[in-house]
């Protein structure tokens, strides 16, 4: 094949390919990347903040005037249908499993708001098991359930927290002092009272109980409850719609 060198050299002069590539393409590419990043961020925020936003508005309305919505409160001891757990306190379920409070955050349990002052609203065991309270625990207890009622042979743990005032004065029952280990309790046993302890006296949380169903590490110990991967969706345990992806906007009630 004959190569027409003069044609090729003319072509390279008429189309300044290098110049177009260097100046225009990266600019367009950068714009495209920036656009894609904005769309991704917007989608992320939309998904995270949309999930549960209607429920959050109802929760705040309830907390401003708890007497206004008695129909949204669940009652201590209630058992929904044939669910294995009883409801462990009085109040409105304001935040549920896998709700997000900020980008990247995933709530590992459920938050039940009494709408009362601290130290007033009782908290009881949702299911029988063996209660422990570690030495440093001011507001928390954990109950080992050797035989998961939903999966025979599996051990799970049920964690209850925020049972103290902002300064860390405990509202846990004197039956379970810090250092308590493996004390058997029946469902309905008084564990303590709802509080607002957050660990920071200047920033207490709203008065509520946080409950979560925690995975075992396979060696008879509970895993780190702060990671959602270490918890189970509590919905089937309580017989309530407690999964934020399945229940995006209602306050959970027995069906």
As measured in angstroms, the least distance from the Cβ of 111 to Zn ion is 4
Minimum CB distance to Zn ion, residue 101 (Å): 9
The minimum distance between CB 30 and Zn ion, in angstroms, equals: 42
Instruction: Select 67 or 226, whichever has its Cβ closest to Zn ion.
Output: 226
Considering the complex, state which of residue 234 and residue 239 has its C-beta at the smaller distance from Zn ion.
234
Collect contacts of 141-144 with beta carbons under 8 A, ≥24 apart: 141/172, 141/176, 141/180, 141/191, 141/192, 142/214, 142/222, 143/185, 144/182, 144/222
| Residues near Zn ion (CB under 5 A) | 109, 111, 210
CA 169 and chain centroid, separation: 25
- Minimum separation from the CB atom of position 227 to Zn ion (A): 14
Smallest gap, in angstroms, from Cβ of residue 107 to Zn ion? Answer: 6
Question: Which neighbouring-strand residues pair with 208?
Answer: 113, 195
Q: Which is nearer to Zn ion, 73 or 208 (CB)?
A: 208
* Strands in 55-155 per DSSP E: 92-95, 110-113, 122-124, 129-132, 141-145
Of residues 90 and 111, the one with the C-beta less far from Zn ion: 111
Tell me the HSE value of 216 on the side-chain side, using a 13 A CA sphere: 15
Q: How far apart are CA 221 and CA 142, in angstroms?
A: 11
CA distance 194 to 124: 10
The gap from C-alpha 26 to its chain's centroid, in whole angstroms, comes to 42
CB closest to Zn ion, residue no: 210
């Amino acid at each position: 094949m004959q190569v027409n060198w003069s044609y090729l050299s003319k072509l390279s002069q008429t189309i300044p390919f290098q110049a177009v590539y260097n100046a225009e393409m990266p600019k367009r590419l950068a714009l495209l990347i920036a656009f894609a990043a904005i769309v991704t961020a917007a989608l992320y925020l939309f998904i995270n903040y949309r999930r549960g936003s209607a429920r959050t508005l109802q929760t705040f309305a309830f907390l401003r005037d708890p007497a206004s919505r008695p129909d949204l409160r669940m009652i201590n001891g209630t058992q929904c249908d044939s669910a294995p757990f009883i409801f462990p306190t009085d109040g409105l379920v304001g935040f549920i499993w896998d709700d997000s409070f900020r980008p990247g955050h995933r709530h590992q349990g459920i938050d039940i708001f009494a709408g009362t002052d601290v130290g007033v609203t009782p908290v009881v065991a949702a299911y029988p098991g063996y209660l422990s309270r570690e030495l440093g625990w001011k507001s928390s207890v954990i109950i080992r359930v050797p035989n998961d009622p939903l999966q025979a042979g599996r051990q799970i743990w049920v964690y209850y927290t925020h049972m103290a005032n902002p300064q860390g004065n405990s509202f846990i029952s004197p039956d379970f002092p810090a250092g308590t280990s493996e004390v058997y309790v029946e469902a309905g046993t008084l564990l303590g009272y709802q509080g607002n302890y957050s660990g920071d006296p200047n920033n207490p949380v709203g008065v509520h109980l946080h409950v979560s169903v925690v995975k075992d590490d396979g060696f008879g110990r509970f895993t780190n409850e702060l990671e959602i991967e270490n918890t189970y969706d509590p919905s089937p345990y309580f017989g309530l719609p407690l999964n934020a992806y399945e229940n995006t906007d209602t306050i959970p009630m027995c069906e």
